[in-house]
Amino acid sequence: MAHSSDTNNTEASTRDIKDASFSDLLGRIAKEGGLIVIIGFAVLLLLALAGYDNRDPGWSHLGYQPEARNFTGYAGAWLADLAFSVFGLAAWLIPLMLFLPALRFMLRSQVSLLDGIPFMMLRITGALLVLLSLATLAATHLSNADGQLPFSMGGLVGQAVSDLAVSLFSLVGSSVVLWTALLFGFTLLLELSWSQLLEKLGRAVFGLGAKLKPTPREKPQPEAVNPYAAEDEEKRNLLRAAARHGPSDSLTQEEPAAMTKRPVRREPVFSA
């Protein structure tokens, strides 16, 4: 009985290991496969936006030429026209917002798909804030007079939000609100820490300033001043003068005259 129970436990543990490995395999395939599809769609959308021609048939109009000149054909022309019609210039950020988070999540192989869902929701919220605020700013401050885009520079969404924001906060107030939303959206999307970013920026600026600043040349140190130098120099001059015109020279000059003068001998005189 004990042997049969051990055998059953071994088979159950083996079955659990197989189930766990199979579930891990399915999770990994779903994670990597989904991210590959997202990255491929981001590249396709980027090519479609780059090859946009307002004469191609698209979502907002039928087209003015029989063939689409877009890099990705009719599908790409329709997709690019839809993106520019809805978000305007902000549509250029959509491929980047799809590519960077997907690549970052793929590199984090230790994070499971279920554990990454809250982070994905946070980044999606940040991406929507960035798109909405940037499209609204473009519709508020940029003009589409030459008709490059189907509607306004911010698209239909940006124009609608711009009209509402300007009516509520005026032009200046709406700009402040939209820039605040844009920075907050970037914080959620890229997981930015503004304090660390400013600290790194300050270090880079100071490092660049230190490299560009010329190195000061070393100044020669002044020699120590001897307070008795003048007195010592005067004494040396006096000694040189005394050596040049000393008493030995005067004696040698007066000696011949003294030797030529002989003492006069006088005889004593006796008076009577």
Q: Is residue 252 part of a domain?
A: no
> Which residues constitute the domain of residue 199?
10-209
Residue 2: per-residue pLDDT: 46
- What pLDDT digit, counting tens, does each position of 159-194 carry? 999 999 999 999 999 999 999 999 999 888 877 777
Asked if the structure places residue 18 within a domain, the reply is: yes
Residue 135, exposed/middle/buried by CB under 10 A (0-12, 13-18, 19+)? buried
Question: Which pLDDT does position 44 carry in this prediction?
Answer: 92
Residue 219 has pLDDT above 80, yes or no: no
Averaged pLDDT of the chain: 76
Residue at 247 is within a domain: no
pLDDT reported for residue 151? 84
* Of 115 and 143, the one with more pLDDT: 143
- What pTM was estimated for this model as a whole? 0.62
Number of domains in the chain: 1
- Please check whether residue 246 lies inside any domain of the structure: no
Considering the domain boundaries, does residue 96 fall inside one?
A: yes
Q: By three-state DSSP, how is residue 25 classified?
A: helix
Report yes or no on 47 lying in a domain. Answer: yes
DSSP calls for the chain: -HHHHHHHHHHHHHHHHHHHHHHHHHHHHHHHHHHHHHHHHHHHHHHHHHT--TTS--SS---SSSS--STTHHHHHHHHHHHHHHHGGGGGHHHHHHHHHHHHHHH-TTS-HHHHHHHHHHHHHHHHHHHHHHHHHHHHH---TT--SSS-TTHHHHHHHHHHHHHHHHHHHHHHHHHHHHHHHHHHHHT--HHHHHHHHHHHHHHHHHHHSPPPPPPPPPPPPPTTHHHHHHHHHHHHHHHHT-HHHHHHHHHHHHHH-PPPP-------
Q: Is residue 159 part of a domain?
A: yes
Q: Is residue 229 part of a domain?
A: no
